[in-house]
A = this chain, B = another copy of it.
């Protein structure tokens, strides 16, 4: 009876160990190698146990993408707090986004990959909005007016995101991009957009 807490704690631990195991397989062998049986092996249970914690494989992976968004949000927040000027903040935040994509390569693929969870984006991941909102705010600030027009912020946000995400995708899929090209394109593009925002 008094063991209810302990039981819950054990359950939480198991849930976390499932996510950890899945993440480990994803990172070490790629998502195509992730299987329920492999997870079960690692956590030393049989596969059906996993279904007591997650409805199915897709739900499990959705949880992992949420973890990814939380890490990204934390990183970007830290980057923002390193500067005072909005233009410097923006630059560092996007650079942080860039670095995250390669430091957590597999996680980024899971979060933005085209295959994995296509058509499951019906706002079921509120975590995804956190990094977006952070950028939105800084863009608004950079504009330097009282009530910055929503649609303009939106446009700028998508321009930023497109160029950064596009460059990342290209680099993740093909690895023959000339050396040094990435940094130049990235800095040029980000700088250009920032200049077009600044009053």
A residues whose Cβ falls under 8 Å from a Cβ of B: 30-32, 109, 112-116, 118-119, 121-123, 151, 154-155, 158-159, 161-167, 169-170, 172-178, 181-182, 184-185, 188-189, 192, 196
| Residue among B119, B172, B188 making CB contact with A155, cutoff 8 Å | B188
Contacting pair B123 A176 (CB below 8 A): yes
Q: Could you tell me the dominant secondary structure of chain A's interface residues?
A: helix
Instruction: Pick the contact of A114: B122, B155, B173 (CB < 8 A).
Output: B173
Complex contact B185–A158 (CB within 8 A) = yes
Other than A119-B175, A121-B174, give 12 A-B pairs with Cβ distance below 8 A.
A109-B118, A113-B115, A151-B178, A155-B188, A158-B185, A159-B189, A161-B166, A163-B163, A164-B166, A165-B169, A166-B169, A169-B169
Which residue from chain B places its CB closest to the CB of A116 in the assembled complex? B115
Q: Which residues of B contact A121 (CB under 8 A)?
A: 173-176
Name the contact of A167 in the complex, choosing from B109, B166, B177, B192 (C-beta under 8 A).
B166
Q: Could you say which of B112, B114, B170 contacts A162, with CB atoms under 8 Å apart?
A: B170
Q: How far is the CA of A154 from the CA of B179 in the complex (A)?
A: 11
Least distance between A158 CB and chain B CB atoms (Å):
5
